[in-house]
Amino acid sequence: MSHVTAADGAQIFFKDWGAGRPVVLSHGWPLNSDSWEAQALFLADNGYRVVAHDRRGHGRSTQTWHGNEMDTYADDLATLIDTLDLRAATLIGFSTGGGEVARYIGRHGTARVAQAVLVSAVPPLMLRTDNNPDGVPVEVFDQIRAGSLADRSQLYRNLADGPFFGNNRPGATVSQGIRDAFWSQGMRAGHRNAYECIAAFSATDFRPDLDAFDVPTLVIHGDDDQVVPFEVGGRASAARIKNAELKVYPSAPHGITDTHKERLGADLLAFLDTYAA
């Protein structure tokens, strides 16, 4: 397996598929790079080099005790990009991975970045605070934390069988296989790593990071997202990022990498092809 070594010695697993201008995929919580497999295969087949890593504590990367927060996630991503010497890359982040992309740009700039995409992403700030009154109440995240400590396996089952893929909506047809893949990937994450990542994705304020975006940016979000509500995530991010393009998927849930993979692949490819070196 391929790994890069982070500053503290953690081993960060990555896939490197295809050839062409690089695309870097950052995954959601509590998943790993396998969650991008439909988009990775599609984009690599269409002339792009696709790099997808497992965040520390997730999948095949080291289950570190420390560093389970956005600054370190972004620095690990920088280590990956620098080690592979990726240039003119398009960074695509799903959910928590969107936060990772935002913090990367906030901390490391866009010298190696040509484009950015946020998909069902957690920025600008999920948590309700005095200066973010439309955010999600802390009790929601406290319930996720309690569920993780009480029965992490069942928590992931409940998320996959319910809001993540919109399987709790009338007429939903999300396969058992998709839901099982969510659970399987989640259980490969370290317990502490996944637990601490709840605070990382919910309470990190990415607003200053979004202000630093100076590359073409596409924001994609379902308007029936029950995990990162559209108004809190996609609409707010698109309004904050200068000249961002917003694509709204009507009635789409959070997990559109699976439920809307054909449309998502086509939209990503169309956006990638707009880049002129």
**Residue 254: active-site member:** yes
Beta bridge partners of 13: 3
Tell me which of 254, 258, 260, 267 is the catalytic residue: 254
Residues in the chain: 277
Beta bridge partners of 16: 51
**Residue 95: active-site member:** yes
Distance (Å, rounded) from C-alpha 70 to C-alpha 67?
A: 8
Tell me which of 225, 237, 258, 267 is the catalytic residue: 225
Could you give the 3-state DSSP secondary structure of residue 49? Answer: strand
CB atoms within 10 A of CB 261: 17
Tell me which of 26, 95, 120, 202 is the catalytic residue: 95
**Angle subtended at Cα 253 by Cα 93 and Cα 155, rounded to the nearest 5 degrees:** 85
Query: What H or E segment, with its residue span, contains residue 73?
Result: helix 70-83
Give the E-state strand segments of 108-262 in sequence order: 113-119, 217-222, 245-249
**Residue 180: active-site member:** no
Backbone phi and psi for residue 77, each to the nearest 5 degrees, phi listed first: -65, -40
Both structure tokens of 164: 């993540």
Known catalytic residues? 95, 225, 254
